[in-house]
Amino acid sequence: MYGKSGALNAKPGKADELASILLKAADLVSTLEGCRLYIVGRDVNNDTLIWVYEVWDSKENHAKSLQMEEVRALISKAMPLIDSFPDDGAEMNILGGSGIR
């Protein structure tokens, strides 16, 4: 399995709107082949920071999701709301765990 995690720092006053778009993305990709987990969360110590965690059957499944017209439209809506990416994120080979369907 393949995993990604990362943080997005929303522009001031845009965190709720960005989170809403990311939650729409979660609903959309949850129906795609190979998506096992897509979590969106707000940082408890920074109200502009939003975290995304994804688990896929493969890196290829993840890459396919980024080519979907609907996903690309959501990315286009989200980009103007993002102030920065505070880290490079992380890619993982998922070994297992609880809650992964």
Residue 98 lies in a domain: no
Residue 53 lies in a domain: yes
* pLDDT tens per residue across span 22-51: 999 999 999 999 999 999 999 999 999 999
The secondary element (H helix, E strand) that includes residue 2 is strand 2-10
Output the six-digit token pair for 85: 């990416």
Q: What is the pTM of this model?
A: 0.88
Kindly report the CATH number assigned to the domain that includes residue 11.
3.30.70.100
Residue 99 lies in a domain: no
User: Which residue range forms the structural domain that includes residue 33?
Assistant: 2-93
| pLDDT computed for residue 27 by the predictor | 95
Report helix, strand or coil for 87.
coil
Residue 101 lies in a domain: no
Report helix, strand or coil for 88.
coil
Helix axes 15-29, 69-78, angle to 10 degrees: 170
What's the Cα-to-Cα distance from 80 to each of 9, 14, 16, 91, rounded to whole Å?
11, 10, 13, 24
Q: DSSP letter for 69, please.
A: H
Distance CA 90, CA 15 (A): 22
* pLDDT tens per residue across span 47-99: 999 999 999 999 999 999 999 999 999 999 999 999 988 777 888 998 877 77
* pLDDT tens per residue across span 1-10: 999 999 999 9
**Into how many domains does the chain fold?**
1
| pLDDT computed for residue 95 by the predictor | 82
| pLDDT computed for residue 86 by the predictor | 74
